[in-house]
Structure 1
Amino acid sequence: MPPKLARRRNAVLRPRDAADVYAHPRPELARLARRGALRQVAHGYYVVVPQRRLADPRWRPELHATALGIAVTDYGIDDAALMGTSAARHHGALPRAVAVAVVAIPRQRAALRLDIGQVTFVKRKVGRLDVERYEHDLVTGWVTTVEQTLLDVADRPALGGLTEDSAREVVRALALRADWGRVAELAREQRRPRAHRTALELSEQDPDARPR
């Protein structure tokens, strides 16, 4: 593995990202994948295998980090963020593993099937979302905060493959950690009063007991 590729902070790689290393990057990346230095997760997307896992053919990249890595690779770090079920998983509100990752990006895009799950893209302006830093071995980027995630899941509970019952569990888990004053502020800024009401209802919170 060329050092320049091995040291990338975003471990998700496309052939064009190796154009300054190889004259013909596509066959070279395919060769590295056959040798176990890369893992191809979808057509045109590879993940750099960590050095400590090079001899492990069972290694699989984490779905949500890989999804964010794809979005960062395609749109840039400031125009991509984990949201919905992926953010809920990050915040510990979704203990069960799910096979769908949800990522906010600046334009419409069809879902992408990976060999480790599915990536669902949502058109959102990340600069208008409440986000915090996301750090993973595979990628550095953004993830929505507890409060933003609470609103997003309440607004679109089925996004990311949640059932009605599991969505309620996620909202209740997030509600225990949320600053409800910030939730109300975000709901006003983003003009999402219905999502705010749904969050209160699903989490069985008393709206009169929360900051206005």
Structure 2
Amino acid sequence: MSKPTRRKLRDKWRLKKWFSVITPPYFGEINVASIPADEPSKLMGRVVETTLSEITNDFSHQSIKLYFVITEVADSTAKSILKGHEYSSDYLRSLVRRGTSRIDGIFNVKSKDGYVTRVSVVAFTKARVKASQEKAIRAIMRQVLEDKARELTYDQLCHEMVLGKIGSDIYNLTKKIMPLRHVGVRKSKLLTAPVVPAEAEAEGVVEAKTEV
């Protein structure tokens, strides 16, 4: 590589500015990353990965991965929303036991404020279940998620999915069918988010959606 080319690369790097990626209010507005960019617009849509333990300072949350997508840039701050989360593969493997059953449920739900999310719930029982019991537990998973989505905003739904409230509600409702050893939202993915056009925003009317 010629010296002029190296110089151009160095100059281009010097022109870049560092931006702090901040989690949304429902995850404490914490700085989780610093990203260089020569134009703020190039940060839009970028995804940053971290763990829940980095936010809560609780090592027991190390197995939960969080993905934040940048949606707004102001000055040197890049604001984000939760794009999704998931259990680490090691943690999932650690939950498997002989003589027990694993029950999975995958559901698309729409929050009160119009965000559509794919939610994957997993339950591990204390003993093997019959087909009828598995069907009943999966039905409870669906009912809890649909009720929550109807009542909660996306912010609130994210908080309850990641921090275990939804899993706890499912656990309590399935006790009479089959005691569970673990149940939780193992993965979530934001599919679409509402978009408010400038002219409709003043009137408070939501007319369109966009993929995230």
Q: TM-score, normalised by structure 1?
A: 0.26
> Larger % of helix: which?
1
> Larger % of strand: which?
2
Q: TM-score, normalised by structure 2?
A: 0.26
